[in-house]
């Protein structure tokens, strides 16, 4: 059966967080006006700690001096959730989707993003799942991917961060997503050797098409190269 809509996929390489945020805002405005279709941005960020709308400054446990020394910015974000880390080796996805008319359900959308990532990592032999009462994708007691979203007039922004070869020591600077009794993991830690970022991006794109029953059309440089009512959700 033919799929009824297309999601354009832009692989943008590495962007600093403010540039990524500015790009999202421009695309959201265009999507609301019907001037573009649905878009999925895939990228990596330079090292940054972000505080969501529910973020607590006390969940950043490293000193400003240490963070400055390590080249880690601290920025506020209008996504849902608490505090998280973005950096090299982490695949970040920002879907800009209009959920109208038949997907106007915040919880369903979050579960769909989780399903995308669960399917994607399954292609590499990782059995991931959900944690009752918490958002994200988990392997045992460790979070593999964080989700924090924003929905305005049913157009989405922000999204997910999947740890591929991320330096997990950076999560020691924070209480990840404000959860004190869980850990953080990566594809590299789970497998011993990670697939390439390009292969992980391809798996995510394929899973996204399956879960959202959409065609995907890719454009832009490949990952790994330089290059009215508002709702938010997430735990970092």
Q: Which residues are known catalytic residues?
A: 177
- 3-class DSSP state for residue 202? helix
What does the block give as tokens for 182?
């869980």
**CB neighbours (10 Å) of residue 180?**
8
Spell out the long-range contacts of 63-69 with Cβ–Cβ below 8 A and sequence spacing 24 or more: 66/173, 67/173
What does the block give as tokens for 62?
């490293």
Candidates 135, 144, 123; CA nearest to 201 is 123
Q: Which sign does the torsion angle of CA 164, 218, 230, 108 carry?
A: negative
Candidates 45, 70, 54; CA nearest to 179 is 54
């Amino acid at each position: 059966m033919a799929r009824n809509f297309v999601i354009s996929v832009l692989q943008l390489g590495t962007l600093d967080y403010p540039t990524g945020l500015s790009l999202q805002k421009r695309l959201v405005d265009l999507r609301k006006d019907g001037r573009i279709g649905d878009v999925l941005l895939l990228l990596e960020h330079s090292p940054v700690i972000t505080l969501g709308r529910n973020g607590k400054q006390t969940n950043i446990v490293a000193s400003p001096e240490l963070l400055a020394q390590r080249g880690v910015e601290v920025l506020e974000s209008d996504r849902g959730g608490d505090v998280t880390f973005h950096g090299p080796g982490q695949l970040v996805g920002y879907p800009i989707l209009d959920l109208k008319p038949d997907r106007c359900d915040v919880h369903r959308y979050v579960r769909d993003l989780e399903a995308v990532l669960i399917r994607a990592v399954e292609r590499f032999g990782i059995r991931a799942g959900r944690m009752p009462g918490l958002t994200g994708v988990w392997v045992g007691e460790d979070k593999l991917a964080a989700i924090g979203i924003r929905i305005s007039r049913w157009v989405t922004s922000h999204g997910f961060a999947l740890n591929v070869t991320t330096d997990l020591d950076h999560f020691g600077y924070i209480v990840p997503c404000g959860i004190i009794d869980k850990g953080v993991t990566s594809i590299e830690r789970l497998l011993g050797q990670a697939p390439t970022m390009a292969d992980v991006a391809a798996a995510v794109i394929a899973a996204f098409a399956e879960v959202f029953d959409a065609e995907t059309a890719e454009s832009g440089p490949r990952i790994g190269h330089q290059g009215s009512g508002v709702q938010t959700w997430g735990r970092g």
